[in-house]
Amino acid sequence: MKQLNVYLAFPGTCESALNFYKDALGGEIVSLQRYGETPMGAPEDQKQLVMHATFKAEGVDLMACDVNDKHLVNSGNQVSLSLNLDDEAEQTDIFNKLAAGGQITMPLEDTFWNARFGMLTDQFGVCWLLNCEKK
């Protein structure tokens, strides 16, 4: 059995992003560990950064972290998250919440594959694809 896990890396905004997703998706931050809480230690200015976190909402599992000064992250197009829904009202609500402070790439619209689909980049630079199959 294989399972695909999404792992997002942020340049110091991980906790803010997870709280944003918590509100938009109705989920919860299941665990969050900071670099300063680890046995490997961290420089004073990086102790509050997120070393590892898990987030869960209905049908959504994410893992995330802040990168430290030894790594670089390109915010945005390194990952796209595809969220499949079965309720158009819920899709609209989530789409609008994720789009707040971000940029809509493709508004929600009916598609040739018998679904309602839209794309956006949220305020943290993460690309989202929201798909709702027609009944």
Single-letter code of the amino acid located at 44? E
The pLDDT of residue 1: 53
The CATH number of 80-133, from 3.40.50.720, 3.40.50.300, 3.10.180.10, 3.40.1390.20, is 3.10.180.10
Task: Give CA–CA dist 1/117, Å, rounded.
Answer: 29
Task: Give CA–CA dist 68/91, Å, rounded.
Answer: 34
pTM recorded for the entire structure:
0.78
| Domain limits, CATH 3.30.720.100, in the chain | 6-66
**For residue 9, with 0-12 CB atoms within 10 Å meaning exposed, 13-18 middle and 19 or more buried, which class applies?**
middle
The pLDDT of residue 23: 96
**For residue 29, with 0-12 CB atoms within 10 Å meaning exposed, 13-18 middle and 19 or more buried, which class applies?**
middle
The helix (H) or strand (E) run that includes residue 43 is none
Residue 53 CA, chain-centre distance (Å), reads 12
Please check whether residue 132 is in contact with residue 109, taking contact to mean a CB–CB distance below 8 angstroms.
Answer: no
The pLDDT of residue 76: 57
- Return per-residue pLDDT of the chain as tens, 135 residues: 567 688 898 989 999 999 999 999 999 999 999 999 988 888 999 999 999 999 999 999 999 999 876 667 776 566 779 899 999 999 999 999 999 999 999 999 999 889 999 999 999 988 899 999 998
Single-letter code of the amino acid located at 72? L
- CATH of the domain spanning 6-66: 3.30.720.100
